[in-house]
Structures are given as C-alpha cells and as structure tokens.
Structure 1
Amino acid sequence: MTENPLDLPPECWELIFNSLNDQSHFESLSLVSHRFLSITNYLRNSLKLTDPSTPFLPHLFNRFQNLKKIDLSEFQGDPNSILYLISRSGLDLESLNISNLKSFPFMGLKELGTKMKNLKELNCSKKFSFRDSDLIAVAETCEFLEVLDISYPENDSSFLPQGFQNIQSFSFYITDSGIEALSMKLKRLKRINLSGNFFITDKSLMFLSSNLVLLREILIRDCDFITQSGISFAMRNSPNLVSISVNGIGIPTIDSCFKESFAYARGLCEIDLSNSFISDELLRLLGEACLPLKKLVLSHCYNFTLAGISFLLCKYQSLEHLNLEAANFLEDESMIDLSKFLTSLNFIDLGFCAKLTNSTFFTILRECPLLSEIKMETTNLGLDDFTTPLVINPQVKSLHLARNGNLSDESLKKLAILCPNLEVIDLSHCLGITEEGIGEILKSCCEIKCLEIKRCRAVFDLGIDLELPKLEVLQASGSALNDHALKMIANTCSRILHLDLDNCLNVTTSGVKEVVEHCRTLREINLRWCDEVNVDIVAWMVFSRPSLRKIIPPCGFAPTESQKNFFLRHGCLVCKG
C-alpha cells in the first residue's frame, strides 16, 4: 500500500507551514484539504481587518481562535464596534494596532481592556487626536501593557496656546501630566514611543525613568522640548535601559552631563542620535564607556570626523547594525580602513555618502562576511572599479541601491554574481539600467522575492522569460513597463502578491487582464495614473480574481459607498482612484 504524502503528523505540517515568511500563504494552503484548512486556522496568529461588515466578523474570530495580534490601522468602519466584538470573541490578544484612526475608540478599548488581561502591546500612533484624558484611559484599562506607541498624533493645531507657560492648561495635547499618570499605572511598561508629541518636556522622561523600573526602550524623536538634561536623567536612572532613540540634540554643543551619562547606562545596546551635532569627543567618550553596543545610528549627524568614528568602531568591533547615512567625509579609502572593524555587521547604511563608489561596495562585501542588508542609496555606485579579486557573499539578502544615477547594467551583472542569495533589491530611480541588467539579476539570483524598479524609465520589461516562482512583490511605479512585460509577469510570476503599476503609462487594459487572469495569488494591485486602463475593469477584477484584497484603480474611478461595501463583501477593498 502506497503511503499518502499528506499523512504526516500535524506537528510536521505545523513546522512546514510556520517556515513560510508570510501567513498570507495560508489562504491558498487552506484550499488543499480540510486537514490543511484546520492546521492553517490553528496556526494563524495575526489578522489585519479592513472590512466594516461587523456581522460577519464573529465567524472569523471563531475560525481563527489562536489570534494574538489584530491590526485595525486600515479599518474602514466604527472602531468601537469592532473592539466590542473582539472583547466578546473569547480571543486572548497580546497585540492591538489602532493607529491611523480618526478618533480615539475610548468605549471599545475600555471594554476590551477588561477582558484581554494578556494584552501587552498597543499601538495608538498617528492620525487621531490624542490627549491626556485618552492616555489616562489607556493606562486605566490596559494596565498590563509592556509596549506602547503614542507617536506622532495629528492633533488639531488651530488653537495653540500663547506661550510655553500655558501648555499645562491646554487640553488638546499630551503633556507631562498625562505621562506622569501613565507612569504611575503601567508598571510593566518596557518600551514607549513618544516621538512627535511636541509639548512634553524633560519632566516626562523623569517620570518614566523614576517610576518604571522595567523600562528598556525609549523613543523620543521630534520632541521639541526634550533637552540633553532629560535624556541624561533617563540614562542615569533607568537601570534596565537597553535602547534610546533621539534626534536633533547637541546644538550648539553637547554638555558634559550628557556625555558622562553613557557611563551610567551600562546595558545600552542600541543608540540612535540621528540629525544631531556629534563631536569626536562624544564619540571617544562613547567608545570608552565599554557598552554592550550592537546598534549605532548616526544618520545625518554632523561635525564628527573620520578620526572620531574610527576610534568608536575600533572599540565596538562586535557591532551588528551601523547607520552612517550622509557622512559626507567618507571616501573609498576610508571605508577600506573602517571595514576592518566591521566584521560582525549584518546591516550597514551608507546612503547619501556621495564620494563612495563600487570600490566601497566590493570592500564591504569582502570584509563583512555576515552582512545581510546593505543600503547605498544616492551614492556614486557605478563609478570606478575594484582591481583586487572580488568575493562572493552568500549572506547578503537585501540591497537598497536607489537613486544611483551611474549604476549600469554591467555593474548589476557583477552584483548578481557576488550576491547569489538576494531576496530584496531596490533599484528605483536608477536611470542608467535597462531590462538587460534586471534580467541578469533575476537569472542569477533565483531567491528574489521583492524587486523595486520605480521610475526606471529605461526598463520596459523584466528582461527574462524564465519562471520566477519566488517573486512576490514588484514595485514598478513610473517605470516603462508595457503590456508585453505584464504578459511576461502573468506567465512567469506564479506567486506574485503585490503589483504596483502606478503611473505606468504604457500599460493598458489588455495587459492588466493578462495579469489578473493568470496570477492566482495576486492580493494587491495599484493602477493609479494608468491612463490607458479602462476604469470599467475594476468590477471584473474583483470577481475574476478572488485572491485580490486591495485595488487602487485608475484615476477617475470613484466608487460609491454602496459599491465599496459590495466589493468588500467579496473580500476586496477598492480605494478611490
């Protein structure tokens, strides 16, 4: 009797399915058999909701009973109603994203907080007006939170207080009073993102570091009234602090108290000082602090020199993540010297370093064997050449090389050979490349999952007619892709999930139909500014490709509420063109 290959133990199938990077693949697997449907239902732990058809949602929650994360950031209906449904679903949520909403769902969150005692992570960032009363409501209803994001609220700024002295009495923003109340309630908080809350001051950092013993990560970017004094206090009085992210400090100089505070933060692993005035003296003090530093971000910092960063990197040769974006003093010769200290790196960002060329790229490929991701956007990549032997680096999975005007097809051929296991490559705005170079990348790097060729106006197709079973995301907005390219995609990209054709003027209705008919896993497609695509195609797309979850139609298509709801009932969100 022949064994059925599907008769593996459930544990084996769970391991196989969990090896997939994206749970969206569960949808097609669930169609194979009832057994696969049961396994994928059990394994799904996250869900993003956009459909306001709340009567159907209880069935969804009953189907996926092990959900731990729910994302409502693109939810189209009443957030209070959906939170009521979640609270009564019997789920045991650990993470909830209610960012981007127009108003704070106070009643729904209160109801959910009484039921979900294991809710550890809450994202309330962006869009809705957020004030002290909302913050206090969060603290009172979700008392077991460990991670809280209240960054960048879009408050109504039409009524600004007259002078800083009136801020505490102004009720439309988060203030130090709200942060103090939060710090007295959320005793388990480990990570907080306060970025973009313009009216909090150093007092907020003092409340947090004095009252929250478990606090490990603080993000306070774009907080105008936070000073070096407050940051110093936090580093000196937060014994478990491992990560701090600030920006715009040190103008005109960095005071001694701030410099000395690094010696107190003995557990700091991650430091982000983006857009700051950084002296070599500070870098030397940081190097001498002997921290367990793994991540350093000095993006768009200024005033420091090669000598300062060399000293620091020499001290931290176990660094794994380095961002030196816009360090304009860097040259190919200096990167040859610095690379000797970077053997442990798995990420490097050298974007906007205009003096760096091919030589730097090939140097870090050779000297940094653990590199997984390289960013060299807006450099002089494509110029110069490297005379010493080139080394293949199989660890590199992601290359971000956008806006390199000198990058050529010949350069791409070398990249393809040296980085054979690439999964993500961004070549947007590289005007010197054509489909020949793209074809070389796709032919040599058979693991490519995401290809970005936005605004590559010399790229008319993918330059290859071979099967691309791994390609899932194609960002091609503003490129010269045409119907021939779409036919090629339809025939070779069997697993494409996301296709962005925004402003692809050579694309027509015929080409789009080819893709929709043949790409059975397609979930999102963007056709904005595709003037040759007929708007009448939208309804046909929704009914012809059941896998579609989001369509951005050509300009001129403005679905009525009735039409939008009709499409949503078929599982697809159709936006306004």
Structure 2
Amino acid sequence: MAAAAAANLFYLPDECWEHVYKFLTYDDDDGYRQVLKSHSVVSKEFLSITNRLRKSLTIGTQSRHHLYERLLILFQRFPNITSLTLSHYCIGDLNNLLLQISQFPLKLTSLTFSGSRCTIPINGLRAFSQKITTLTSLTFSNLDPINSTDIFFIAGSFPLLEELGLSYCIPYSRHGTSIPSIVEPLSLAFFKLRKVNLSGHDYMDDKLLFHLFKNCKLLEEANLSHCIQLTNAGIASALLESPTLKSLTFDILEECPTLKSLTFDILEECAMLSTFTRNCPSLNEIKVQSCTRLNNVKNFNSSIVNPELKSLSFANVCWLTKETMKVFVLFPNLVRLDLRWCSGISGKLMCQLLRMCCKLRHLNLSYCLELNVSEMNFEVPKLEVLNLANTSIDDKALHVISKSCCGLLQLILENCYNVTERGVKHVVENCTQLRVINLTNCLNVDADVSALRLLSTRSLKNIVAPPPNRSSNKRRRNSS
C-alpha cells in the first residue's frame, strides 16, 4: 500500500515527461538524438514517450516479404512521424513501398528519396498523394530523365508543396541535341513554392532563372550551384524580380541588397569576401564549403564592414595565416563561427581572431588537428558553445580555455584523447554555468571520477561520459 501511494505521489502524465525531455534537449542534432537515446534505455515507459517525440524516419531497403507488417511495426512505434526518407530503392520497389505506406493514416509533411538512381515512381506517388494530403516538402536527387509532364504531375498531386528538391536530375533529351527545360513549367505550376534546389541543372540559363524568380512570388531560398550557364548579369536581373528571396546558393557573385544568406562551393580569394560584404549589406549568414587557400590579401578591402552578418562557416579551409585572418575584421558582430577541419590554427591566431570577433557565442574548432590554444591569453566571456571534438588539446589547454571562456554552457570534447580528469576539474571549477559536456571516447578520463565531479555541478543537465576504463573496472572489482 505504501509503495502504491508513493508511486501515485510521484506520478507524472506522459505529456509532462515530453515537456521535460524537450527542455533537456539542445539545438545540435547529434546531441538531441543522444539525449533521447539515453533516456529511452531507462524503462519501457520512457522508450514509449521518446518514440512519440521522434518526427523523422529513414526507411532503407526492405524485403517485399511481409512488408506491410514491417511498416505497421515502425509506424506504431513512431506514431508522430512527419518527415520520411526512402533510401536506396529501385523503381519497382519504390512504387510498391509507396502503395503500402499510403495505407497508413500518416500526417507527413516531408518526403525524401535518397540514394536511388531511378525515374519518378508515378504509380506509387499517385496512390500516396490520394491518401496523404498534408505534404509540403518533396525532395529527389539524381533522378533519371525528368520532363515537364513529370513536373505537372507532381504539382497536381501535391498542391500544397512549398519546398521542392530536384538536385542533379537529368532532363529528357530532344532529338539528341537540345535539352528542354523543366524550369518554366515548374515556375508556373508551384505558385506556393518557398524553397527550391536545382543544383546541377547545367542547362539552366539567365532566361530560365528570370522566369523562375518572376513567377514564384513567395520564393525565399534557391540552390543553383553548378548551374554553369548562369552569368553575373543574369542573376542580377533575376534578383530584381524576387524581393522575398533570403537565401541563394550559386557559384558566382553579384550585387543584391536584400540577400540574407549566401553559400559558396569554392572560395579562393579574400577580395571576394569584401566584395559581397559591400554588395550585399543585408547578409547575415555566409557558408564556404571548400577553400584550398585564401589568396589575394593585398586586394582585400577591410574598410567596408558588415554589422548584420551573424553566422560564418569557414569549414575545410586548408590553411589560415596571420594575413588571411584579417578577413574577420569585416564582421564585428559575428555570433556563430565554424572553422572545423581548418589547418594552421595556433593560439596566437585564435587571440587575433577573438579580438576582432569579441561577440562570438558559438565556435566550432572540431577536427582542427594542429590546434594549439595553450598560448591563448584572451577572455571570451560571451562564448557559450565550444566544439573541440577530435583535436589534440590537453589538460593545459583546457585550463586556459576554462579561464578564457568562463561563460560556457556547452563543451564538446569527443575523441580528445589527451584530456584527463584534471582537465575536467579545471572546466567544472571555472565554467560554473556549464550545462552540457560531451566526453565521448575521452579514454584517459576516469569515468567514475569524472561522473562524481560532474554530478556535483548543479548547472549541468546533460553529461555524455567516457566509457569506463580499465583502472575504474579494476577498482570496482577490488571494492566488491
């Protein structure tokens, strides 16, 4: 009786637990999954609750044998799925799979086909669209020949579509010489379109781009990378027809006063940064996908700053120097900086960077294999998230970081093999607001010692501990 009374006293409805889990999670995708996974292993009840929180699901190649029963188990386990990805299917299996999925009362808003080289599964999509009418996002990639008939079929089947991905899809050839466009019918059929991905459509020219931007009145985001026939003049003209556009990915640069987000596949010159800083004053995000080496620092104009830019991704830059670091002076209000896989970053260079970007809150230095922060002697009180995964930092570096970045809320040290519990102690003592710490595969950190030390820190809400090492296992056996 007493046990039953106590159980009722501490009972929480499932809806309350869902709010608790959502509160404990954070923005990083990997972290979000890790938090749900760690809670789901506690009990069947918690597993059931976390299953209901899952919104996306990927279904890989399945045997046709008992396919409906397999799908039934999946959708019963995850009843609130809104995003579905179908991966690595041939056309026959895709049609069959879509026919089976259409028999379930799903409220999907997003459907993605990935890893498959095939034509559009017309029969399956027709049955799917008749049963599931809530879809607003549809993504294909690497489709075999597609034409205007396919485009109008998609538009007729999914009238609510706001996002359409057709990257690297091959249009039908006509008489073996010319390639008819699918862009013009697309721009006419999808009047609600907000996001479109046409990367790799090498027939795309200035005229077709003009039609797309003119007819899609609600367009906010467009990916046009590797559309090799586009010109600077064509993009500039088309941009005048799209006042709602906020994000544009392409391989060349032109003036656009309203553009807010820009992605470059390749960036080779520092001068280009100052150019689009001047031409696009509303930019608040820049992503550089690849950069062999930043050059032409002499032509770099540091007098034109962009106070609006808040996020900059400089991942995979092969070499950063004292001279190329000058580019960061353009962005005095930078809040988020991604430098993963960058080479040549030293403590002195980090000091130079942090003096120019003193408002940073999120800094990603993962996979910076040459990173050396022991020379860093500069306070960054506003920094909240620091990712040092897969670096060679040690306890001495952690001591410096914990004093320089005392306001940290989240610290990621995954695969940092030189860190021990001494370094963890420095972080806990100096970073008193720390809420999340990831010590996955920190093999030299004693799991038992670090757990006791971390659990004594009231601010921490999520601890990803290292695996128990041999010494802790030995002590556990001796004590027993």
| TM-score of Structure 1 vs Structure 2, range by shorter chain | 0.7 to 0.9
- Determine the structure 2 residue equivalent to 1:65: 79
C-alpha distance after superposition, 1:157-185 (max 9, x if no partner):
xx9999xx9232xxxxxx5x212222221
Question: How much has 1:93 moved relative to structure 2?
Answer: 0.6
- Determine the structure 1 residue equivalent to 2:266: 275
Query: Secondary structure at 1:124's aligned position in 2?
Result: strand
- Determine the structure 1 residue equivalent to 2:192: 188
C-alpha distance after superposition, 1:236-286 (max 9, x if no partner):
211100011112x37xxxxxxx44xx24xx2x1112234257684x66664
**Distance in 2 between residues matched to 1:30 and 1:374, nearest whole Å:** 29
Structure 1 residue 167 corresponds to structure 2 residue 178: yes
Contact 1:439 1:462 in 2 (8 A): no
Query: Secondary structure at 2:182's aligned position in 1?
Result: helix
Contact 1:393 1:418 in 2 (8 A): no
Matches within 5 A, 1:104-115: 104=119, 105-115=121-131
Structure 1 residue 16 corresponds to structure 2 residue 31: no
Question: How much has 1:235 moved relative to structure 2?
Answer: 1.4
Contact 1:339 1:368 in 2 (8 A): no
Amino acid at match of 1:424: I
Contact 2:394 2:423 in 1 (8 A): no
Contact 1:147 1:191 in 2 (8 A): yes
Correspondence for 2:350 among 361, 375, 385: 361
Query: Secondary structure at 2:15's aligned position in 1?
Result: helix
Matches within 5 A, 1:178-577: 178-247=182-251, 249=252, 258-259=254-255, 262-263=256-257, 266=258, 268-275=259-266, 280=271, 286-289=276-279, 291-298=281-288, 300=291, 305=297, 308=300, 310-312=302-304, 314=305, 316-324=306-314, 331-332=321-322, 335=325, 338=328, 341-349=331-339, 352=342, 354=344, 356-365=345-354, 367-375=357-365, 381-382=371-372, 385-386=375-376, 388-391=377-380, 394-399=383-388, 410-411=396-397, 414-415=400-401, 418=404, 421-425=409-413, 435-437=417-419, 447-449=436-438, 462-467=443-448
Question: How much has 1:359 moved relative to structure 2?
Answer: 1.4
TM-score by length of 1: 0.62
The percent of aligned pairs where both chains have the same amino acid is 25
Query: Secondary structure at 1:239's aligned position in 2?
Result: coil
Alpha carbons of structure 1 residues 353 and 227: separation in structure 2 relative to 1, 3 Å: farther
Contact 2:398 2:427 in 1 (8 A): no
**Distance in 2 between residues matched to 1:50 and 1:121, nearest whole Å:** 20
TM-score by length of 2: 0.73
**Distance in 1 between residues matched to 2:237 and 2:18, nearest whole Å:** 47
Which deviates the most, 178-187 or 436-445? 436-445
Alpha carbons of structure 1 residues 37 and 348: separation in structure 2 relative to 1, 3 Å: closer
Amino acid at match of 2:302: S
Question: How much has 1:12 moved relative to structure 2?
Answer: 2.1
Amino acid at match of 1:465: D
C-alpha distance after superposition, 1:199-234 (max 9, x if no partner):
333333122112110111111112222322332233
Contact 2:224 2:250 in 1 (8 A): yes
Contact 2:312 2:334 in 1 (8 A): no
Aligned length: 434
Query: Secondary structure at 1:189's aligned position in 2?
Result: coil
Question: How much has 1:377 moved relative to structure 2?
Answer: 5.6
Query: Secondary structure at 1:78's aligned position in 2?
Result: helix
**Distance in 1 between residues matched to 2:471 and 2:132, nearest whole Å:** 45
Alpha carbons of structure 1 residues 221 and 142: separation in structure 2 relative to 1, 3 Å: same
Amino acid at match of 2:136: K
The one of the two structures with greater contact order (alpha-carbon pairs below 8 A, sep at least 6) is: 2
How well do the aligned residues superpose, as a CA RMSD in angstroms?
Answer: 4.3
Amino acid at match of 1:55: Y
- Determine the structure 2 residue equivalent to 1:81: 96
Amino acid at match of 1:60: L
Alpha carbons of structure 1 residues 92 and 226: separation in structure 2 relative to 1, 3 Å: same
